[in-house]
Amino acid sequence: MARVKVPRKSTAIDMTAMCDVAFLLLTFFILSAKPKTQDPVHADIPASTTIQALPESDFSSLLVAEGKVFFSVEGADVRLETLKGMADQYKIAFTPEELKAFTNLESVGVSITFLKAYLNMTPKERSSVAQPGVPVDTTENNELYWWVKNARKADKLVHNKELRIAIKGDSKEEYPTIEKIIKTLQKQKVNKFGLITSLRTVAK
């Protein structure tokens, strides 16, 4: 009797399609991911139950920690216009290189008089400089007031939209610092703004 031979099958699986899908997804996630920006000071943000998401553009945030304020605005084009506005305001001429450097700058944490020197530094030198924060006080003409004002003007000019402003404050920040900022915003009739919080579930 002839023995029936069962042909042995290869255990290899064709991975080509799986590999294609995996890399397609990988490419998608890499491209859609926004690089996490490094904050100049660490802020431990408080938690709340609100689930309103922040907009991606036409948005400015004020980072408040250790009694300092850092100003930042989304979008390179808006940043450029903002600095041009500030240059007019404080009569400081910026070179095209400095303007370009500013569009890549994540946040402003130095006074306008020091900004020119700060922009001429290399990124490595910048990280070694302790940023004192944007000067802010209770008077009508503080620098933060003009940064916000010029950013709002710039956004209106570039995108024709209202700039949304949000405060990103450290939990342990004392109230007077926050109050100064709220007052500065209210002086230019920004009565509605956001407070950036992390998500918390309601304890029932």
Instruction: Give contact residues for another protein (rule: CB under 8 A).
Output: 8-13, 15-16, 18-19, 22-23, 25-26, 29-30, 32-34, 36, 45-46, 48-54, 64, 166, 168-179, 182, 186, 189, 191-200, 202-204
Determine contact, residues 92/116, Cβ cutoff 8 Å.
yes
Q: Between 19 and 121, whose beta carbon lies closer to another protein? A: 19
Q: Between 87 and 151, whose beta carbon lies closer to another protein? A: 151
Does an H or E element contain 23, and which? helix 16-32
Minimum distance of another protein from residue 107's CB (angstroms): 15
Q: What distance in Å separates the CA atoms of residue 165 and residue 20, rounded to the nearest whole number?
A: 42
Minimum distance of another protein from residue 166's CB (angstroms): 5
Q: Between 54 and 121, whose beta carbon lies closer to another protein? A: 54
- Distance set, CA 81 to CA 84, 85, 103, 165 (Å): 5, 6, 9, 17
Find the radius of gyration of the CA atoms of the chain: 25
Q: Between 104 and 186, whose beta carbon lies closer to another protein? A: 186
Minimum distance of another protein from residue 30's CB (angstroms): 6
Minimum distance of another protein from residue 66's CB (angstroms): 12
Q: What distance in Å separates the CA atoms of residue 103 and residue 80, rounded to the nearest whole number?
A: 6
Determine contact, residues 129/60, Cβ cutoff 8 Å.
no
Q: Between 91 and 192, whose beta carbon lies closer to another protein? A: 192
Minimum distance of another protein from residue 42's CB (angstroms): 14
121: three-class secondary structure by DSSP: coil
